[in-house]
A and B are shown apart, each in its own frame.
Chain A
Amino acid sequence: MKVTLRVWRQPGPDAAGEMVSYEVEDVTPEMSFLEVLDTLNERLILDGSEPVAFDHDCREGICGACGVVINGQAHGPERTTACQLHMRSFADGDVIDVEPWRAAAFPVVKDLVVDRSAFDRIIGAGGYITAPTGSAPDAHATPVPKPAAETAFEHAECIGCGACVAACPNGSAMLFTAAKVVHLGALPQGAPERESRVLDMIGRMDDEGFGGCTNTGECAVACPKGIPLQAISSLNREFLRAARKSA
């Protein structure tokens, strides 16, 4: 296969960017999308040009480092991470646009690399259960009903890639925040900090410049881990409950 990549090139945070076209030959259907970028970069280095900068690490779809907008969709046409997208999803001769996440709260660092540290600060604001090392009771002291454990797990699967923000027309981080609030709130261990958690995380989310939620639902469609849209209504309910209690 041969494809044409039109890639967003931006030398630094304050520089202007542009789309640049590159043809890549010898693409096979088994290759991952990032391996096509690898192939392109090998050639660019030998040509004496700067390779395309992009974040990636585990290449197994779990670390959440990679993330680019491919043909207008966060992580591309399949519901997975860019590293787990394979070229069998494309056809010979395709022209593929590759851009960074675009959101006010995720400034571009270089080319396809963005700064997602705002996510870390949302977690720091309350996305945890306070349990200093050594203070824990026996693991079986508090049974957790299986359905609650399953709900917690399904929301804990979030990999923090930022696709939800990139897909949202408002650049909102509601799905990301909701995933953590629902995960911890579903467990008895998370109950004592239930109110402060949701209030502090939402407050931080707003402070970081993420947009508001208008129920577009693009976030849940783009989420490679399938965090359900319903999480956002649970978040809203938690927020109202906590706001009422603290009022």
Chain B
Amino acid sequence: MSPTYAQYTEGEPVADAAAPPGDIAERWDRRRFTARLVNPANRRRYKVIVVGTGLAGGAAGATLAEQGYQVVQFCYQDSPRRAHSIAAQGGINAAKNYRNDGDSVHRLFYDTVKGGDFRARESNVRRLAQVSVEIIDQCVAQGVPFAREYGGLLDTRSFGGVQVSRTFYARGQTGQQLLLGAYQALSRQIEAGNVEMHPRTEMLDLVVVDGRARGIVARDLVTGRIETHLADAVVLATGGYGNVFYLSTNAKNSNATAIWRAHRRGAYFANPCFTQIHPTCIPRSGDHQSKLTLMSESLRNDGRIWVPKAHGDGRPPNAIPEDERDYYLERLYPSFGNLVPRDIASRAAKNVCDEGRGVGPGGQGVYLDFADAIRRLGRAAVEERYGNLFEMYERITAEDPYQVPMRIYPAIHYTMGGLWVDYDLQTTVPGLFAIGEANFSDHGANRLGASALMQGLADGYFILPATIGDFLARHRPEEVSPDHPAVAEAVADTEDRLHLLLSVDGDRTPDSFHRELGELLWDECGMARTEPGLRKALERIPALREEFWRRIKVPGTGTELNQSLEKANRIADYLELAELMCLDALHRAESCGGHFREESQTPDGEAARDDEQFSYAAAWEFTATGTAPVLHREDLAFEYVIPTQRSYQ
């Protein structure tokens, strides 16, 4: 019998060679000093490709262009302003300690490592906390309209998993405002001719020449033309892969193709099973559901989560008396209450629904109740804090959350896994960098609220522009010939694949495959995972993939705007990525953060980590489609934050 996908092999460990040794508080300063610099006059001679225009990509493109590099940038949307960072609601963390409440860079570092359940690299997280302070300064200077106090100073609020108030926000539209800041800075550079912007253009492959990333193959989504773009370095800022689940809070077109294609060309993919399920999303309303909408976690500051104590209690929420309600987070976690980290809040919601105490259609929901907050603060104060979220909720559900408790349920929201990168944010392919959600670096097995915006902007504004300079300074600006065989091969691969998708002419739509894959993953690789379930998924996925290539139907041609072709091409990659996620989840026979293996839990049902065996990041090397990948471990050493079993009780 041939070996199955689940029988992976193990290769040499992978180590981060870029972080300097010494006191963690000085590492970033030391790295910036040891990094070689490119003479300002020479920067024009280097071309850098940036794929994606979200917080990480937009910030990186603008900053690299300001520094004098030639930037060539891409996004699949019609405008760089629409990248999905725009939908982030709650806020951005920074260790400013403006509240004088005991915050510090070290505390933010500590909270992030602990919140990530000790599966992130200390050096990176410490740097993130350090840089967080500069981000707020930068954004204010750009005109980001953060919430302010009457004295004119910045307001902050607290978020899940922490006990200080360090989250800066712009009502429930923080992501939008930060993204527009980056977009405006980028637009200025486009206008100045320093950034060549290609909207409605999607990266479909990476060009690797002599072991180094030298460009991309992209498709102009309007004309269908396949183009190659060559450069001295390539930066992927293409976001996460949550849409592999079909239903998620990601934008409909967010996809994994850029990082998956890079993975196939040699970039290791780390911790793919670390996916985050957000506890406060609007429950699905039926089979037509095309995506899920998140309600900012900031709502947990003032909302109280409960379900009826009795099973199958069908009364309307306001008819259920106080003593017949179970405020289960406050009961189980008295010190953090409704503000426990996302993974804990999500699993607790699943547990009460599994017990039959869920509310709303299908019993897949719990209440998030603002009655107490409205009594305590008044409706006006609640409206000022959450007005737009309440409005959004009412628009979708036709229920008024000022009168009736919201119904919420967990949904896929963020992916902590991604391309493996070293301290310089460089992947295992030299010259290929990954920033923002596309990399795996800072959040370990669980991301804290308001930390995604922080990481995206830290990578884009401050970290990548420093580290990529070191890479470029070590390489002369030499052009690659467009006739190089590696370029021709990447183009031919892309064209063949698109041609195949168009020529199958089967009887199933792209979405039908996507939904089926998504349901399978949600059931077997979602909030709770088991060995039998994962093995079942690992059997089913290759069969589904085979069926996809036999039965897919893509109308139209490749030489026009063809949204079905775009979708089908992305789903083909999800059908490979899903397999790696399940394998990673199967091999990690411990629970940590968002990865909950039912076999590994404490007597009271909490995630039980196994540091003896699993204190490492799993970096997977691609071999061939459907063939077991090679595992490279990066051992994690904790010198500053000593691993403990997380407790939020």
Contact = CB atoms under 8 A, between A and B. Distances in A.
Bind each other: yes
Interface of A: 11-12, 28, 30-32, 34-35, 38-39, 41-42, 44-46, 48-51, 53, 55-65, 78, 80, 84, 86, 88, 109-110, 113, 115-117, 119-121, 123-125, 127-140, 142-146, 149, 152-153, 156-157, 159-160, 183-184, 187, 189-190
A149 to B, nearest CB: 4
Given A128-B188, A133-B138, A187-B145, A57 B563 contact: no
Contacts of A156: 145, 170, 177, 180
A124 B98 CA distance: 34
Given A59-B290, A60-B392, A113-B561, A131 B507 contact: no
Given A139-B140, A153-B170, A157-B173, A42 B509 contact: yes
Contacts of B537: none
Interface stretch (B149-157, B336-344, B443-451): B149-157
Interface string B377-399: 00000000000000010011010
Contacts of B152: 143-146, 149
A149 B146 contact: yes
B555 interface: yes
23 contacts: A12-B560, A39-B288, A46-B509, A50-B555, A51-B563, A57-B253, A58-B251, A58-B252, A59-B291, A116-B79, A123-B183, A128-B187, A129-B184, A131-B143, A132-B63, A133-B185, A133-B462, A137-B137, A140-B98, A140-B153, A143-B153, A156-B145, A156-B180
Nearest to A113: B561
A51 B291 CA distance: 19
Contacts of B177: 153, 156
Interface in B443-480: 461-462, 465
B451 to A, nearest CB: 18
A29 to B, nearest CB: 8
A196 to B, nearest CB: 12
A136 B293 CA distance: 35
Contacts of A63: 77, 82, 84, 86-87, 251
A59 B143 contact: no
Interface centre among A58, A117, A132 (most CB of B within 10 A): A58
Contacts of B190: 120, 124
A51 B396 contact: no
Given A58-B86, A149-B148, A149-B152, 7 more contacts: A50-B556, A59-B290, A60-B87, A120-B81, A128-B185, A134-B134, A156-B180
Contact of B145 (A120, A125, A152): A152
A138 to B, nearest CB: 6
A39 B171 CA distance: 34
B86 A149 contact: no
A50 B509 CA distance: 12
B395 A86 contact: yes
B564 A51 contact: yes
A42 B288 CA distance: 11
Contacts of A119: 79
B96 interface: yes
B561 A57 contact: no
B313 interface: no
A59 B252 contact: yes
B224 to A, nearest CB: 11
Contacts of A125: 191
B594 to A, nearest CB: 22
A62 B176 contact: yes
B516 interface: no
B511 interface: yes
B564 A45 contact: yes
Nearest to A153: B145
B251 A59 contact: yes
B59 interface: yes
A124 B251 contact: no
Interface in B178-202: 180, 183-185, 187-188, 190-191, 197, 199
A41 to B, nearest CB: 8
B86 A62 contact: yes
Nearest to B154: A139
B147 A149 contact: yes
A55 B78 contact: yes
B81 A64 contact: yes
A134 B142 CA distance: 11
Contact of B78 (A60, A65, A189): A65
Contacts of A86: 395-396, 398
Given A30-B285, A45-B553, A124 B191 contact: yes
A41 B512 CA distance: 12
